[in-house]
Amino acid sequence: MMNGKKIVVVMPAYNAEKTLLPTYEEVMAQGCVDLVVLVDDASHDNTVEIAKTLKNVKAFKNEKNLGYGGNQKICYRHALEEGADIVIMVHPDYQYTPKLIPAMASLISNGVYHCVLGSRILGGYSIKGGMPRWKYVNNRLLTMIENIFLGAKLSEYHTGYRAFSKELLMKLPLDTNSDDFVFDNQMLAQIVWSGCKIAEISCPTKYFPEASSINFTRSVVYGLGCLKTSLEFSFSNIGISRSGRFPSGLKNCLQDKTE
């Protein structure tokens, strides 16, 4: 709880039995998280069994693999059903440090932002943390292109460490987004479309064998999906086409909290 707002951490999990416990312990050590919602995407290990033994955790398991984006949709749905005011996504692979949870939550609980991102690029921690150089180059190139097409100035669009207000999550048409990895990018584009200001804080990350990561082929597919999303955003913005992902009713759907 922070400023009277309930904080729920969501963990979209897949084969995370080796890293779940240290991630959970660091999450709860922050002292402000009321509940962890873990949704296991039909893992082949004991992720959900371990989660069910942990205090203040509600664990669910999908009957079949829904994909990274499909699993997130379930995570947010459960979090809102549990009465969350602030929802923070923390991957249970322990790549992103949960120590930033209080800082991210405070920017939302104080009424400053609806969305906060943990950026691996700010501060120059990505390469130091072990990010492969080809991923770093792709990240920078895609981000540059997306900033141009979306008219934004974010340091990166590809972080999986994100915090949202309840009000924002309830407005976003998440069901129109992909069930694959490009879901993250589409969701962020929707937030830019909505006019909500987005905060970024520097986030050190770790790359190690147990940390989840997509291979080169999946990265190419993801990158093409990001470019397609940017074009769809731009065409919708200038009126060339209409998109259920970027409806006119979503624009300025939340009054800017800073005004």
Per-10-residue mean pLDDT, the chain, length 259: 97 97 98 98 97 98 98 98 98 95 98 96 80 89 97 96 98 98 98 96 80 79 97 96 95 67
C-beta atoms surrounding 113 within 10 Å:
24
User: Which domains does the chain show, CATH number per domain?
Assistant: 7-250 (3.90.550.10)
Overall size of the chain counted in residues: 259
Q: What angle do CA 122, 124, 125 make, to 5 degrees?
A: 100
Determine the pLDDT at residue 207. Answer: 74
Q: Which two tokens stand for residue 183?
A: 């879901």
Determine the pLDDT at residue 213. Answer: 65
Determine the pLDDT at residue 257. Answer: 45
Determine the pLDDT at residue 255. Answer: 63
Report the alpha-carbon distance of residue 157 to residue 188 in Å, rounded: 7
* Pair 33, 117: CB distance under 8 Å: no
Determine the pLDDT at residue 50. Answer: 98
Which residues are within 8 A (CB) of 188 and not within 5 positions of it... i.e. 6 or more apart? 117, 154, 157, 198
Determine the pLDDT at residue 254. Answer: 86
Determine the pLDDT at residue 25. Answer: 98
168 burial level (CB within 10 Å; 0-12, 13-18, 19+): buried
Which residues are within 8 A (CB) of 248 and not within 5 positions of it... i.e. 6 or more apart? none
Q: What is the pTM of this model?
A: 0.94
Determine the pLDDT at residue 130. Answer: 79
- Amino acid identity of 176? T
Determine the pLDDT at residue 116. Answer: 98
Determine the pLDDT at residue 187. Answer: 98
